[in-house]
Amino acid sequence: MIKIKKRKILLLPGDGIGPEVIEEVKKIINWLNKNKSLDFEIDEDLAGGCSYDKHGTPITDEVFYKALESEAVMLGAVGGPKWDNLDFSKKPERALLKLRKELKLFANLRPAICFKQLVDASTLKPEIVSGLDIMIVRELTGGIYFGEPRGIKPIDNGERKGINTHTYTSSEIIRVAKVAFDLAKKRSNKVTSCEKSNVMEAGQLWREEVQTLHDKEYKDIELNHMLADNCAMQLLRNPKQFDVIVTDNLFGDMLSDQASMLTGSLGLLPSASLGAKNKDGKMRAMYEPIHGSAPDIAGTGAANPIATILSFGMALKYSLDMDKEAQNLENAVQTVLDDGLRTKDIMSKGNKEVTTSQMGDAIISKLK
Ligand code: IPM
Ligand code: MG
């Protein structure tokens, strides 16, 4: 049984702009503690390249156990060119992948919402993206990211072979599909399941299991199957046809980056990675912006903290049972955008450009 002490939040700022955006969340947690008499206990530690620099490993056992015992983990971002040439097992990304895999965070929720104030920040026509509200549910602990065998091995003629394996079992597919169907119930009752069943057996199994589950338990929900390449195209052609999209680890990685640009900037999109619920309805969870560590802008104050702040909003909602505070935070973000404040990535004529920390402060000033 998972035994979780109350309201322990572990911050793992990571690399690049990670520390800058997590700093803004820290301010918000402190604000909530002070003004709402809450008792969030924050701990902060290293994960990613910064951990490698100090300890020679992207995540120490100690930090991993802290994550196990936290009610929610907030991660900034990991990685950067500095660590590009490290052995695979030492790369910053391993910290993230280990947390996902070992905490069994199999369902990754990536909402793509186009804020009305930012319709013009998208590269797509306003009528295509205005009012957009999609939820991508990405399988996060299986597929080609973790499949065995994997590696690089020498073969004949001095050549080498790179190997990765794409596998899914029925239960891995069913548990993530359930998350998607349950979410759809609270939204527009529509799920699109994406795979490549035309070329991959694992994709064929995916399609069959999702359909069988649907026919057994979720008949009232509209289910469509779509090949992942077609989905990529449809996301640009007519994104508003989608409500919930459920897909595997690799396709989910790519489709969610693509969906993010419908909303104007990678800097806006939060995510939640959730494990299975225990008897008390609690689950392990990690929250992070979907953007990366953006080393090119690290330290310049140009990072957009909104994705990370909204990720904390998802933590309030999914882990901490604080829907009202989550709404409060979302409203504050909206109000600041209404006021015309913009970080560099979403700046447009007639608005006021602010730094990462000015954006965080402005959002806090609108909290009720
Ligand atoms: C993401 C990222 C990660 C992934 C990287 C950093 C390992 O791109 O969360 O989408 O590929 O899953
Ligand atoms: Mg990605």
Nearest Cα to Cα of residue 47 among 83, 3, 2, 8:
83
pLDDT digits over 82-126, tens only? 999 999 899 999 999 999 999 999 999 999 999 999 898 888 999
Cα 258 to middle of ligand 2, angstroms: 10
Residue range 224-248: mean pLDDT, rounded: 98
Is the pTM value of this prediction over 0.85? yes
Q: What is the pLDDT of residue 5?
A: 43
288 lines ligand 1 (CB under 6 A): no
- Judge whether 120 counts as a catalytic residue: no
Give the C-alpha separation, 236 to 264, whole Å.
13
pLDDT mean across residues, the chain: 95
Are 1-106+275-368 and 114-265 the same fold in CATH? Answer: yes
What SS3 class is residue 36? coil
Flag whether pLDDT at 206 surpasses 50. yes
Query: Which atom of ligand 1 is nearest to 97's Cα?
Result: 7
Q: Where are the domains of the chain?
A: 1-106+275-368, 114-265
Tally Cβ neighbours within 10 Å of residue 43.
Answer: 15
Q: Are 284 and 273 in contact (CB under 8 A)?
A: no
Query: Which class is domain 1-106+275-368?
Result: alpha beta
pLDDT digits over 343-361, tens only? 999 998 899 999 999 999 9
Contacts of 87 (CB under 8 A, 6+ apart): none
Cα 53 to middle of ligand 1, angstroms: 21
Task: Enter the CATH code of domain 114-265.
Answer: 3.40.718.10
- Span of 143-152, 256-265, 270-279, 328-337 with lowest mean pLDDT: 256-265
Q: What is the pLDDT of residue 122?
A: 87
Taking CA atoms only, the protein residue closest to ligand 1 atom 7 is 93
pLDDT digits over 188-200, tens only? 999 999 999 999 9
Strand partners of residue 151? 163
